[in-house]
């Protein structure tokens, strides 16, 4: 049987979905993380527990939410709690296995920026939305996975601002940076997977998606990317994975009146 | 005890220029009607507090209502940037906007502290983040029992908190359900509370553990059907996603923004008229 055709965005979402095991308690960011987490739930991990910061625990949306507090999340959740409760009892309380985040910029220690790009904090060239739940998700979840498209503008040597910290010293040499869990173990991009090295905590390339070379990934990374001794090739998406993802996007587009929800 | 009154009167009586105001609702039950009324009454120099500034504060900031913004995430959910928020921060248009930036967990904890009558909130937050370097309200405190260094941030106690809810009864008891966000904490932290509601009923018929604000903690209840549009009211109408997408284009340039605000907010007498106005003019679906 010929392998199905797929886009870089599709294999990124599918590769990210595969990281979630059945029963994992996942605190989900909106956009790409939400797409991947719901794909996991609709394929190999039907009992993955999705928590959104709007207070919905065990949400099972039929379409991807456009906002983190869409009504469908509440309607399909096991329970809906207040925002103070979700952050204090459930996240800070240590009940989250995986924090699933996106970012505008990331550095080699998995520190992420969602605050400002360019200029200074007080006079930024580009003002981004800010922290949201990320600083505490990044440091209170037992493990963190980050999903974002590869580019030199996103994968940078030095962040313009550290919004949420990674596992190790951040790029400003802030030695206070540490997390309670295992930190940002994995970054899934549209080119491959980079994972935290057990000894140095630096993110190193451990897998490329089919047809992608290590040189391509290096060229799209703003720091000198280290390559693991053995680089896997991500298994190509199966027909079932692709069908589930495309159905999810089709339902989402129909429900949101043609909204570009997320990839 | 809550007074049943018009939104115009509630805003005129309780919110003065320079006030510290929180309009809360975490992507659900956002009190847009009250935001519009503050714009119509041309309030100035407000300190606006809100976890997710969203379209409602984009409108108020762009119309020059605010001199200071306290927040934790400023975007148009699922769409992109808030252009008026960005313009104010990046260029000071139409008036300079001072910002005080936190994380969601912190803002939630600060409201809880405010509602609890405590001077500050304690949490395990901002580990390794740059935010404390730029916001001097984010400090640390050492646990007297374990020695752990934790984050301390001051309580939020707004002059007025405004929320939108599904129902109130004639005594002003308020029922909120669905995603309840931080509304209870924000209301109990405030000196005065305005609640706009979808309907006024004889009996709330609230389940035993429902989120109910007793009328005696509420200052004013205002009947404003559809008052959360373009956000949603669980059990009443859905989020108007097409409006939220259209806002990106409306708000991108100052001229188109001002023209839209003049036509749909300043030139309308109240929220009911605004709802008719956006139905007629832009084909966005509004209050169902």
Q: pLDDT (tens digit, 9 = 90+) per residue, A83-120?
A: 999 999 999 999 999 999 999 999 999 999 999 999 99
- Total structural domains in chain A? 1
- Indicate which CATH number applies to the domain containing A50: 3.40.1080.10
When CB atoms are compared, the residue of B72, B123, B184 closest to A92 is: B123
Q: Indicate the pLDDT class of residue A258, thresholds 50, 70 and 90.
A: low
Give the best residue of A68, A123, A131 to mutate against chain B (max B CB count within 10 A).
A131
Q: Cβ B101–A131 below 8 Å, yes or no?
A: yes
The residue count of chain A comes to: 263
Query: Distance between CA atoms of A64 and A35, rounded to whole angstroms?
Result: 7
Instruction: Select the more confidently predicted residue: A66 or A8.
Output: A8
- The pLDDT tens digits for B70-102 are 999 999 988 899 999 999 998 999 999 999 999
At residue A170, the pLDDT reads: 44
Q: Cβ A261–B78 below 8 Å, yes or no?
A: yes
Structure tokens at B102: 């936190």
Percent of chain A exceeding pLDDT 90 equals 82
Burial of B255 (0-12, 13-18, 19+ CB in 10 A): exposed
Q: Is position A74 within any domain?
A: yes
Of A53, A143, A202, A263, the catalytic one is A53
Beta strands in A31-168 (DSSP E): 49-52, 56-57, 79-80, 98-101, 105-106, 112-113, 116-119, 124-127, 143-147
- The pLDDT tens digits for B122-178 are 999 999 999 999 999 999 999 999 999 999 999 999 999 999 999 999 999 999 999
Query: Distance between CA atoms of B151 and B136, rounded to whole angstroms?
Result: 12
At residue A31, the pLDDT reads: 87
- The pLDDT tens digits for B249-277 are 999 999 999 999 999 999 999 999 999 99
pTM exceeds 0.80, yes or no = yes
Q: Cβ A136–B124 below 8 Å, yes or no?
A: yes
If you classify domain B3-101+160-282 with CATH, what class do you get? alpha beta
Burial of B134 (0-12, 13-18, 19+ CB in 10 A): middle
Lowest mean pLDDT among A157-171, A216-230, B232-246, B260-274: A157-171
Query: Distance between CA atoms of A178 and A92, rounded to whole angstroms?
Result: 15
Lowest mean pLDDT among A14-18, A59-63, A169-173, B257-261: A169-173
When CB atoms are compared, the residue of B72, B90, B241 closest to A257 is: B241
- For residue B250, give the 3-state DSSP assignment: helix
Query: Distance between CA atoms of B86 and A78, rounded to whole angstroms?
Result: 37
Nearest C-alpha neighbor of A129 from the set A166, A102, A111: A102
Q: How many beta carbons lie within 10 A of that of residue B157, not counting itself?
A: 19
- For residue B97, give the 3-state DSSP assignment: coil
Q: Is position A25 within any domain?
A: yes
At residue B136, the pLDDT reads: 97
| Closest residue of chain B to A255, computed from CA coordinates | B241
Region A20-34: mean pLDDT is 94
Give the best residue of A132, A168, A175, A261 to mutate against chain B (max B CB count within 10 A).
A132
Q: Is position A136 within any domain?
A: yes
Q: Are the CB atoms for A132 and A114 separated by under 8 Å?
A: yes
At residue A30, the pLDDT reads: 84
Q: Cβ A177–B128 below 8 Å, yes or no?
A: yes
End-to-end CA distance of chain A: 26
When CB atoms are compared, the residue of B78, B90, B244 closest to A127 is: B90
At residue B193, the pLDDT reads: 98
* DSSP letter assigned to residue A90: I
At residue A263, the pLDDT reads: 38
Residue A53 appears among annotated catalytic residues: yes
Residue A149 sits in which domain range? 8-255
Q: Is position A262 within any domain?
A: no
Residues of A in contact with B109 (CB under 8 A): 84, 87-88
Q: Are the CB atoms for B71 and B104 separated by under 8 Å?
A: no
Give the best residue of B109, B129, B240 to mutate against chain A (max A CB count within 10 A).
B129
Judged against a pLDDT cut of 80, whether residue B279 lies above it is answered with: no
Is B97 near chain A, with CB under 8 Å?
no
Percent of chain B exceeding pLDDT 90 equals 92
At residue A178, the pLDDT reads: 53
Query: Distance between CA atoms of B138 and B107, rounded to whole angstroms?
Result: 11
Nearest C-alpha neighbor of B4 from the set B192, B187, B184, B196: B196
B88 to A50, B32, B83, B85, B96: CA distances (angstroms)? 36, 20, 9, 5, 6
Region A128-157: mean pLDDT is 96
Judged against a pLDDT cut of 90, whether residue A255 lies above it is answered with: no
Range list for CATH 3.40.1080.10 in chain B: 3-101+160-282
Q: Is position A93 within any domain?
A: yes
Judged against a pLDDT cut of 70, whether residue A132 lies above it is answered with: yes
Burial of B27 (0-12, 13-18, 19+ CB in 10 A): buried
CA B9 to chain A, closest CA, distance in angstroms equals 30
């Amino acid at each position: 049987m010929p392998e199905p055709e797929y886009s870089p965005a599709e294999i990124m979402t599918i590769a990210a979905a595969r990281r979630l095991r059945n029963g994992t308690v996942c605190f989900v960011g909106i956009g790409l993380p939400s797409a991947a987490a719901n794909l996991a739930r609709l394929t190999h991990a039907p009992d993955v527990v999705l928590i959104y910061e709007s207070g919905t625990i065990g949400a099972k949306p039929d379409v991807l939410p456009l906002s983190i507090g869409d009504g469908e999340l509440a309607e399909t959740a096991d329970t809906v709690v207040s925002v103070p409760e979700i952050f204090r009892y459930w996240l800070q309380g240590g009940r989250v296995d995986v924090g699933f985040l996106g970012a505008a910029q990331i550095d080699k220690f998995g520190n992420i920026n969602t605050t400002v790009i360019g200029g200074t904090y007080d006079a930024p060239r580009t003002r981004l939305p800010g922290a949201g739940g990320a600083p505490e998700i990044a440091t209170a979840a037992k493990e963190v996975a980050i999903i974002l498209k590869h580019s030199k503008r996103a994968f940078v040597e030095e962040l313009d601002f550290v919004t949420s910290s990674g596992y190790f010293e951040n790029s400003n040499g802030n030695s206070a940076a540490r997390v309670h869990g295992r930190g940002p173990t994995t970054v899934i991009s549209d080119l491959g997977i980079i994972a935290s090295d057990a000894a140095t905590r630096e993110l190193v390339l451990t897998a490329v998606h089919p047809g992608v070379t290590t040189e391509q990934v290096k060229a799209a990374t703003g720091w000198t990317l280290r390559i693991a001794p053995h680089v896997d090739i991500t298994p190509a998406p199966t027909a079932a994975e692709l069908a589930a993802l495309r159905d999810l996007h089709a339902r989402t587009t129909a429900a949101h009146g043609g909204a570009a929800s997320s990839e | 005890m809550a007074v049943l009154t018009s939104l115009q009167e509630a805003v005129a009586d309780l919110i003065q220029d320079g006030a510290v105001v929180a309009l809360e609702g975490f992507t659900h039950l956002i009190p847009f009607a009250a935001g519009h009324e503050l714009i119509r009454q041309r309030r100035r120099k407000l300190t606006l507090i809100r976890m997710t500034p969203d379209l409602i504060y984009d409108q108020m900031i762009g119309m020059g209502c605010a001199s200071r913004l306290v927040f934790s995430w400023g975007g148009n959910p699922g769409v992109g940037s808030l252009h008026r928020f960005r313009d104010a921060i990046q260029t000071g248009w139409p008036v300079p906007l001072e910002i005080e930036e936190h994380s969601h967990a912190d803002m939630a904890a600060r409201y809880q502290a405010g509602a609890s009558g405590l001077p500050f909130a304690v949490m395990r937050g901002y580990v390794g983040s740059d935010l404390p370097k730029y916001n001097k309200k984010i400090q640390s405190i050492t646990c007297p029992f374990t020695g752990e260094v934790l984050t301390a941030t001051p309580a939020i106690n707004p002059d007025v908190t405004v929320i939108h809810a599904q129902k109130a009864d004639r005594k002003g008891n308020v029922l909120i359900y669905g995603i309840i966000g931080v509304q209870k904490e924000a209301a109990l932290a405030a000196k005065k509370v305005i609640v706009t509601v979808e309907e006024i009923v004889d009996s709330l018929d609230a389940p035993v553990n429902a989120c109910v604000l007793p009328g005696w903690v509420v200052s004013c209840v205002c009947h404003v059907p559809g008052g959360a549009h373009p956000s949603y009211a669980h059990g009443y109408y859905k989020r108007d996603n097409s409006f939220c997408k259209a806002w990106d284009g409306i708000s991108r340039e100052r001229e188109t923004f001002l023209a839209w605000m003049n036509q749909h907010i300043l030139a309308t007498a109240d929220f009911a008229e605004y709802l008719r106005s956006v139905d007629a003019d832009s084909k966005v679906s509004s209050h169902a």
